[in-house]
Amino acid sequence: MIFTIDVQYADNTALAAGVIFPRWDSDEIERILLRDIGEIVPYESGNFYKRELPCILALLEDIEEELEAIVIDGFVSLGSIEKAGLGMHLYNAIDKSVPILGVAKKSFVDTPKECEIYRGCSAKPLFVTSAGINLEEAKSLITSMHGKHRIPTILKKADQLCRGINA
C-alpha cells in the first residue's frame, strides 16, 4: 500500500488527511484517514517541519497497513545543498523504515533541474525529492500516478480532504 498525506492549518489547529491506495497508477482508494490536531506549534521560518511533522506522525499512528512508500506534499530535501526538509525529518522520525517521496508544486530556492517532472499537458513542473529511494525511480513513480493533469488524482484527493472538501 502507498500512503499520501497533506495537512491544512487554521489558527493553531490542523486537519491532517491521508489516502491509502494500492498501486501507483491506481485511482482506487483503499482507505481515507482524517485527524484533527489541536494546539499545533506556531510557524517558524526555516523550520516548517516542526509544525507539520507532529501532524503527520499523529496520522501515521492510525495506519495498520504495511506501506510501500509515503508521499508528502512538500520537499524531502531543500535546494542543491539538499538541506533536510519535511520529508527527511519524517524519514528519520520513522527510523528510515519506509521510502518518502516529496512532491512540491512550487520550486524552493536553488532546486535542481533534475527534480522537475511534467505531467499531463501542464507547462508547470512538479518538484520531486526522495529518501530511501533513488530520485529517478521516485520521479518515474510520481509520473506514473493516475490522472491526466499536473497533480495526480490521489494527491489532489488528499489536498481536498485536508481542506474539508469531500470531492
**Contact criterion met (CB below 8 Å) for 23 and 34:** no
| CATH of region 2-162, choose from 3.10.105.10, 3.30.70.980, 3.30.2170.10, 3.40.718.10 | 3.30.2170.10
Q: pLDDT of 121-153, one tens digit each? A: 999 999 999 999 999 999 999 999 999 999 999
Query: Looking at the predicted structure, is the pLDDT value of residue 9 above 60?
Result: yes
| Count of other CB atoms within 10 angstroms of residue 49 | 20
Confidence of residue 40 (pLDDT cuts 50, 70, 90): confident
Residue 56's identity, in one-letter code, is I
- Quick one: pLDDT at residue 167? 55
- Quick one: pLDDT at residue 108? 86
- Quick one: pLDDT at residue 2? 98
- Quick one: pLDDT at residue 48? 78
Confidence of residue 49 (pLDDT cuts 50, 70, 90): confident
**Contact criterion met (CB below 8 Å) for 19 and 11:** no
Give 18-66 as a DSSP string: EEEESSTT----SEEEEEEE-SPPPP-TT-THHHHHHHHHHHHTT--SP
List the domain boundaries for the chain. 2-162
Residue keyed to cell 516529496: 102
